[in-house]
Amino acid sequence: MTQIVSPLPGVFYTKPGPDKDPFVLPGDRVEAGQAIGMVEVMKQFTEIRSDVSGTVVSVDVAEGDTVMPGDVLAVIDED
């Protein structure tokens, strides 16, 4: 299992926009480099990417919740 952690403090978003589909859902297949969410810091958005390829086990932070550096955002079951 690989944890994807937030490198930044800010607000986490599971979707690229309010009316968009989530970046990933549990059970989805992800490739290394693929975005799993976004963190907003002072009005700037940074995409958070998976370091590994595999299957999404969980997305651990809800839409719009506050995150701190090191917080686990998602867990990936690596290939």
Cα–Cα dist 55/61, whole Å? 17
Minimal distance, residue 74 CB to another protein, in Å: 20
Q: Does 44 bind another protein (CB under 8 A)?
A: yes
Q: Does 63 bind another protein (CB under 8 A)?
A: no
- Backbone torsions φ then ψ of 46, nearest 5 degrees: -120, 125
* CB contact at 8 A, 6 and 66: no
* CB contact at 8 A, 23 and 73: no
Q: Compare residues 31 and 63 and give the one whose CB is closer to another protein.
A: 63
Q: Does 9 bind another protein (CB under 8 A)?
A: yes
Q: Does 17 bind another protein (CB under 8 A)?
A: no
Residues near another protein, by CB under 8 A: 8-11, 40-44, 64, 66
